Chain A
Amino acid sequence: MNEEIKTLTISIYTENNIGLLNRISAIFQRRHINIESLTTSQSEIDGVNRFVIVVNITESQAKKIVGQFEKQVEVIRAYYHKDEETIYTESCMFKIKSALLFEEPQIQNIIKDSNARIVTVNKEFFVLEKSGRRNEIESLHRDLNVFGIMQFVRAGRIAVTKDEMKITEMLQAFNNHNN
Chain B
Amino acid sequence: MNNTQTANKKQEVAQETMRITGSEAIIRCLIAEGVDILYGYPGGAIMPVYDELYKFRDQIHHVLTRHEQGAAHAAQGYARISGRVGVAIATSGPGATNLVTGIADAQIDSTPVVCITGQVFSHLLGTDAFQETDIIGISTPVTKWNHQITKAADIPEVLAKAFYIAKSGRPGPVLIDITKDAQVSELDFKYEKCKGVRSYIPIPKTNPETLSAAAELINSAKKPLIVWGQGVILGQAENELKAIIEKAGIPAAWTILGASAIPTSHELNVGMVGMHGNYAPNMLTNECDVLIAIGMRFDDRVTGSLNTYAKQAKIIHFDIDPAEIDKNVKTDVAVLGDSKDSLSRLLPLLNENKHADWLQKFKDLYAIEFEKVIKDDIFPTKEGLTMGEVLKQINIETKGNAAIVSDVGQHQMIACRYAEFTTTKSNITSGGLGTMGFALPAAIGAKMAAPDREVVAIIGDGGYQMNIQELGTIFQQKAAVKIVVLNNEFLGMVRQWQQLFFDKRYASTEMTNPDFVTIAKGYYIEGKRVTKREELADAVKEMIASKESYFLEVCVEKEGNVFPMIPSGASVSEVRLS
Contact = CB atoms under 8 A, between A and B. Distances in A.
Contacts of B147: 19
Interface string A44-77: 0000000000000000000110011011011110
B141 A178 contact: no
B501 interface: no
Contacts of B199: 14-15, 73-76, 174
Interface string A168-179: 000100110111
Nearest to B142: A26
A109 interface: no
Nearest to A175: B198
A107 B136 CA distance: 50
Nearest to B136: A19
A22 interface: yes
Contacts of B239: none
Contacts of B322: 67, 70-71
Contacts of A68: 323
B475 interface: no
A interface, size bucket = 20 to 34
Given A14-B199, A73-B200, A178-B198, A19 B140 contact: yes
B327 A67 contact: yes
Contacts of A64: 323, 326-327
B1 A73 contact: no
B437 to A, nearest CB: 24
Contacts of B148: 18-19
Contacts of A26: 140-141
Contacts of B196: 177-178
B144 A73 contact: yes
B507 to A, nearest CB: 29
A31 B1 CA distance: 45
B197 A30 contact: no
Nearest to B146: A19
A71 B144 CA distance: 9
A20 to B, nearest CB: 9
A30 to B, nearest CB: 7
Contacts of B136: 19, 22
Interface in B95-151: 136-137, 140-141, 144-148
A63 B324 CA distance: 11
Given A19-B136, A76-B198, A177-B196, A70 B141 contact: no
B160 to A, nearest CB: 14
A29 B136 CA distance: 17
Given A22-B140, A26-B141, A30-B141, A73 B323 contact: no
Interface in B485-538: none
A15 B136 CA distance: 17
A82 interface: no
Interface residues of B, number: 23
* Residue of A15, A70, A179 contacting most chain B CB atoms (<10 Å): A70
Nearest to B322: A67
A63 B326 contact: yes
Nearest to A27: B141
A73 B326 contact: no
B575 interface: no
Nearest to A48: B199
A6 interface: no
A28 to B, nearest CB: 12
B321 interface: yes
A23 interface: yes
B323 A70 contact: yes
B270 interface: no
A15 B1 contact: no
A22 B137 CA distance: 7
Interface in B280-335: 321-323, 325-327
A127 B296 CA distance: 57
Contacts of B323: 64, 67-68, 70-71
A33 B177 CA distance: 30
A39 B325 CA distance: 29
B227 to A, nearest CB: 21
Nearest to B1: A179
Interface string B186-198: 0000000001111
Contacts of A76: 198-199
Contacts of B198: 15, 76, 171, 174-175, 178
A71 B322 CA distance: 8
20 contacts: A19-B136, A19-B146, A19-B148, A22-B137, A22-B140, A23-B140, A64-B326, A67-B325, A68-B323, A70-B322, A70-B323, A73-B144, A73-B200, A74-B145, A74-B199, A76-B199, A171-B198, A174-B199, A178-B195, A178-B196
Closest 7 A/B residue pairs (Cβ): A67-B323, A76-B199, A73-B145, A71-B323, A73-B200, A26-B141, A22-B140
